[in-house]
Amino acid sequence: MAPQVSAESRKRIDVAATPPDLIRNFCIIAHIDHGKSTLADRMLQITGAVQPRDMRAQYLDRMDIERERGITIKSQAVRMPWEVDGTPYALNMIDTPGHVDFTYEVSRSLAACEGALLLVDSAQGIEAQTLANLYLAMENDLTIIPVLNKIDLPAAQPEKYAEELANLIGADPDDVLRVSGKTGEGVEDVLDRLVREIAPPVGDADAPSRAMIFDSVYDTYRGVVTYVRVVDGRLTPREKVTMMSTGTSYELQEIGVSSPEPVVSKGLGVGEVGYLITGVKDVRQSKVGDTVTNARKPADAPVEGYSEPKPMVFSGLFPIDGSDYPVLRDALDKLKLNDAALAYEPETSTALGFGFRCGFLGLLHLEIVRERLEREFDLSLISTAPSVVYRVVMEDGTEHTVTNPSEYPEGKISEVHEPMVRGTILTPSEFVGAVMELCQNKRGSLLGMDYLSEDRVELRYRLPLAEIVFDFFDALKSRTKGYASLDYQDDGEDTSALVKVDILLHGDQVDAFSAVVHKDKAYSYGVAMAGKLRGLIPRQQFEVPIQAAIGSRIIARETIRAIRKDVLSKCYGGDISRKRKLLEKQKAGKKRMKMVGSVEVPQEAFIAALSSDDAPSDKK
């Protein structure tokens, strides 16, 4: 029988009155598919936090998209009781988002913990994203408990990967725990190790209250639910609190913990992790990283580390059916309530009509938003090729911030700055050459290279973000048979020899196809796009040149020959009705065409050209 905490002992870890010594705050750092949710499920069961009859797979992943894609978008905290040597402890497990797009949110989750489980699939070894988050955790001085999962798999190589993990964190391979989230083997040891090795939280119970927000979630019924870690002092219901970044104040309507279902509490003390409800309706009023303090007796300084979410990738979203524009607008307004990082403003495209220019943290964020719009609001959307933020300085010194290639300034440009990233790539050593070639091709410069083990290499590159958002993931996966993984982080900006390539149809520019590319790649982009459009746009009554141009200079040209025959030679046995209906159908089809100047372009051609084979499809 597992050492679950008895009803008698539970009183010692009552939410409102647990001494910090009996609290352990930890998170799990893992790559998607390495079994984090399954391990969490086992922990919930073994600690008795969830009764067997209530158990369901991936208990903590609430949103459908999360569960289906096997990824965790939004973090959440769960309080579990666990007894070691006769003493009851409260374990707060803080679920971290697992993706590079949400690095800032990950860093705030880590800041709420004293320790982390480094969870790695014993058949696959560590991945680049996990490594990046591990480094973040180590920078935050978290105690790392290495765990190899899925030891029940036939392909598991626990010896090999224990060695790898031990090397990374400077431990002994024998200290690496081996578990199976699926069978539950070893999970009790993990819980014991958490209690023994992770330091209890430290804070000043008598100081003015300070609690750091590490997540906030919009709930249709409750409004925004804010997840906090109390650093100093104590939060109590009905008290008036202030958000230190904005100075706005709210009354705490409810305080509690997730266990994992919400349990209302009389308060939260030092080191506790729980949720607050203030009745606000927009997650922007409860920002991740911000500090909550008492309004009447505020703290002097906020908890360090807060920053505003910054969109890195931009894309235009347009409804395929133009009459859906108001639906799209309302849908974005709703999603925004739950997504502080989503930014958007109306955009009009001559080719695609009315839509929104949206800013995202990264490609996965874009994909998730798009998928939610289509799924939850029943919209069909076209999204334009993702773009980054360029800073264009003109010769006269004026400066333009360009998030949309069609807004790229005309005239004499002095320099163009583009955002750069530091990329970390983990690859089996046999693919090092292929990966280096790819990075070079993508304008990367090598920063360093290390062998993690005999056959696994970590490559560090500085790369333009624009190259990453274009087709880097797919190219990396295809060159390494899917084995390489990538993580990247913001690394300032560089001046680059960039140009805008326009696509002209019969002399008229098609705004949706303009792209900012490096001058060495302008020609190949132009040739590829013109060629693709030639295959997608039907022949017209006149010859249609498709040109790629930099300013007024044509760099590529294709021609759609004029249609020569558009007549049916006869009627079918006097079936005029059939002929007329065909005509009416053709006329209706013509009405659905988008006109670019005098050229009729079917909507499908835009969709096909924008959702190119080259576009990233694996953004994980």
Binding residues for other proteins, rule: CB under 8 A, are 541-542, 563-581, 583, 586-587, 590
**From the CB of 577, what's the least distance to other proteins, in Å?**
4
CA–CA separation, 79 and 261 (whole Å): 10
Cβ 590 to other proteins shortest distance, Å: 7
> Minimum distance from CB of 383 to other proteins (Å)?
32
**Cβ count near 455 (within 10 Å):** 12
Own/partner contacts of 609-612, CB < 8 Å, gap of 24 or more, are 609/513, 609/529, 609/532, 609/533, 609/536, 610/382, 610/383, 610/384, 610/385, 610/512, 611/383, 612/385, 612/532
Give the residue among 60, 125, 73 at the shortest CA–CA distance from 101.
Answer: 73
Beta strands in 530-569 (DSSP E): 544-550, 553-560
Contacts of 170 (CB under 8 A, 6+ apart): none
Nearest distance in Å: CB 591, other proteins? 10
For residue 315, what are the β-bridge partners? Answer: 358
Quote the DSSP letter at residue 235.
Answer: B
Task: State the nearest-atom distance from the C-beta of 580 to other proteins, in Å.
Answer: 6
Q: How far is the CB of 128 from other proteins (least distance, A)?
A: 46
Closest by Cα among 85, 96, 115, 111 to 197:
115
Q: Which is nearer to other proteins, 434 or 536 (CB)?
A: 536
Which CB sits closer to other proteins, 142 or 599?
A: 599
Write phi, then psi, for 43 (nearest 5 degrees).
-65, -45
Q: How far is the CB of 535 from other proteins (least distance, A)?
A: 16
What phi, psi does 4 have (nearest 5°)?
-75, 155
Closer residue to other proteins, CB minimum distance, 412 or 570: 570
The span from the CA of 364 to the CA of 367, in Å, is 5
Distance CA 44, CA 131 (A): 26
Rounded to the nearest whole angstrom, what is the least distance from the CB of residue 598 to other proteins in the complex? 10
For every residue of 265-324, DSSP letters joined together read -S-B-TT-EEEEE-----GGGS-TT-EEEESSS--SSPPS--------EEEEEEESSGGG
CB closer to other proteins out of 183 and 586: 586
Tell the smallest beta-carbon distance from residue 561 to other proteins (Å): 8
The CA-based angle 129-135-139, given to 5 degrees, is 145
Q: Are 54 and 44 in contact (CB under 8 A)?
A: no
Nearer to other proteins, 451 or 542 (CB): 542
| H or E element in which residue 227 lies | strand 223-232
**Which residue number, 199 or 571, has a Cβ lying nearer to other proteins?**
571
Least distance (Å) between residue 538 CB and other proteins: 11
Which CB atom, from 246 or from 586, has the smaller least distance to other proteins? 586
Q: Determine if residue 249 is left, alpha or beta; phi over 0 gives left, psi from -120 to 50 gives alpha, anything else beta.
A: beta
d(CA 230, CA 208): 11
Residue 616 tokens read as 């990233």
Of 578, 508, 572, nearest to 540 by C-alpha is: 508
Decide whether 297 or 580 has the Cβ nearer to other proteins: 580
Measured from the CB atom, the residue of 246 and 577 that comes closer to other proteins is: 577
Separation between Cα atoms, residue 27 and residue 93, nearest integer Å: 5
Beta carbon of residue 593, minimum distance to other proteins (angstroms, whole number): 12
Whose Cβ is closer to other proteins: residue 345's or residue 566's?
Answer: 566
Beta carbon nearer to other proteins, 451 or 572:
572
φ/ψ (deg, to 5) at 249: -120, 150
By C-beta, is 414 or 541 nearer to other proteins?
541
**Nearest approach, Cβ of residue 579 and other proteins (Å):** 7
Neighbouring C-beta atoms of residue 39, cutoff 10 Å? 26
Closer of 398 and 577 to other proteins (Cβ): 577
**Alpha carbon 321 to chain centroid, angstroms:** 27
Shortest separation between residue 575's beta carbon and other proteins, angstroms = 5
